Structure 1
Amino acid sequence: MHGWIDIETPHGPVRGWRAEPPGPSKGAVVVIQEIFGVNAHIRSVAERLADAGFVALAPALFDPVEHGVELGYDDAGVQRARALVSALGTERAMDVINASAEKLQMEGLRVGAIGFCWGGTLAFLCATRLSLPAVGYYGARSVPFLDEKAGAPLMFHFGADDNSIPPHDIELHRQKQPQAQVFVYEGTGHAFNRDVDPKAYGADAAKLAWQRTLDFLEAQLR
């Protein structure tokens, strides 16, 4: 079962795409969007997590600024997305994520986080600020926050050919967060998990990263 629900936050109600596992849950995961909104790709990530046995909830982070945002991957979509990220700000985004996690925790579920692109950075902040086990995929905005101390386990996934996250920045993740698992996938660039985007998708890397992610979540949320 999956569909939109309402999440009460300090900034008013936001929508969240919730996906339920077919049987008993292994825990719950807050799915944190890319800059393009809770679009078909992010909803499919939530549904794949549900298929793997987790309750998944993807909050629509832009709702405090603009409802119903789903943007394309073209230049116009990127421009609009960047404006929305700036208008929302990191603190409000984290408030919405925290409200989503608390909603799941109130149901008695152990909660982790997974995020992509901008959401990969926010997932990292879930570990440092909310003490949630977290998986960040190609979070290009994390470097300014890397001195924050993580209160929960972390896993990072990067494409070796990602121009937005050069090797020096990946190495900073290893240096500043030595306890974290850091994986780099050769022959892949940014957004290699985005299977709806042929220009970005890296099937082999996505498959391996997904299995590592599921293993991590099962270990941390059991």
Structure 2
Amino acid sequence: MSRSPDTDFDSLLPPLALSRRDFIVTSLAGGFALAAGPVAAQTAIKTDAKGLVVGEIKVPVADGSVPAYRAAPDGKTGLPVVLVIQEIFGVHEYIRDVCRRLAKEGYMAIAPELYSRQGDPSRYTEVSRLISEVVNKVPDAQVLGDLDATVAWAAQNGGNAERLGITGFCWGGRIVWLYTAHNPKVKAGVAWYGRLVGNADPLHPTQPIDIATKLNGPVLGLYGGQDAGITQDSIDAMKQALAKGDDASQDSTFVVYPDAGHAFHADYRPSYRADAAKDGWSRALQWLDKSLKS
């Protein structure tokens, strides 16, 4: 199977009954994801933790606790909250660095490990096995519930859940669209090259295009024109669906970088495109600031 991160993640496996002992991941692994391939050390961005409180937290959920990475300005409360949603590779160093970048901008950024019941992505060296054995088995309902629990944790620990945003990459980009329709408190979302259309199944009954008219906050979609897995036709279809919704849906917009492919923001991988990544990051901050800091 190709190592492309554009693989369709659909699965026909039914949701599993969960208990506390079903949590496979109980703490976050260090470093970068092995399955993502060698790290391009010359380009990987490294954000320090000066002036921040950072580290692993435990988010209580109904059947146990989910590990998560939190970064926030030290000594401050009432912070706007941004959920950071992982790629297929889990909450590895790249996602943690994104959290620190957001914290440097005045946000409480939290990235929960959303595969914690299904498997440990840090143990995989092959993308195909990671997708088939872990990613495809993660129910959307579980993800949305864990994100609700993460927002509740933030509200009790210095965050302002009334100023809530979300951003995510690849697998997480799709979740941005779904969660923005799910939680009425979401004020803004930024979806980086998340899938927009696909087949429904018991674990993934809804795709972003199905909830395009139901967004609670506007979403900025950042996509690559050379992304073989997310076509311009699907983006155009999503735009047409958004136009039929209320203000939040109609205010959503796309920026497509013609020369960029999938994962162009992933600065530790060969897919990184500096110009598109930097422009997208600037737009993402402006988008979040407008809704969460005004």
Give the structure-1-normalised TM-score.
0.91
Higher relative contact order (CA 8 A, sep 6+): 2
Tell whether the 8 Å contact from 1:71 to 1:77 is kept in structure 2 after alignment: no
In 2, Cα distance between equivalents of 1:112 and 1:217: 7
Q: Cα 1:91–1:160, aligned 2, differ >3 Å: closer, same or farther?
A: same
Q: Which of 99, 103, 109 does residue 50 from structure 1 map onto? A: 103
Shift of 1:26: 5.1
Q: Does 1:17 align with 2:72?
A: no
RMSD, aligned α-carbons: 1.9
One-letter code aligned to 2:278: K
Q: Cα 1:136–1:125, aligned 2, differ >3 Å: closer, same or farther?
A: same
Q: Does 1:37 align with 2:37?
A: no
Shift of 1:196: 0.5
Q: Does 1:168 align with 2:206?
A: no
Q: Cα 1:23–1:8, aligned 2, differ >3 Å: closer, same or farther?
A: closer
In 2, Cα distance between equivalents of 1:111 and 1:142: 25
In 1, Cα distance between equivalents of 2:241 and 2:264: 24
Q: Which of 54, 60, 66 does residue 2 from structure 1 map onto? A: 54
Q: Does 1:89 align with 2:89?
A: no
Shift of 1:21: 2.1
Larger Rg: 2
> Whose helix proportion is higher, 1 or 2?
1
Q: Deviations over 1:9-67 (max 9, x none)?
A: 2342010000012574751101000110101111111111111111100000011223x
In 1, Cα distance between equivalents of 2:75 and 2:225: 37
SS at match of 2:221: strand
In 1, Cα distance between equivalents of 2:110 and 2:127: 24
Q: Deviations over 1:83-137 (max 9, x none)?
A: 3122221111111111112222344512211011110010111111113121110
In 2, Cα distance between equivalents of 1:43 and 1:111: 19
In 1, Cα distance between equivalents of 2:97 and 2:179: 21
Work out the percentage of aligned pairs sharing the same amino acid: 32
Give the structure-2-normalised TM-score.
0.70
Shift of 1:142: 4.6
One-letter code aligned to 2:94: H
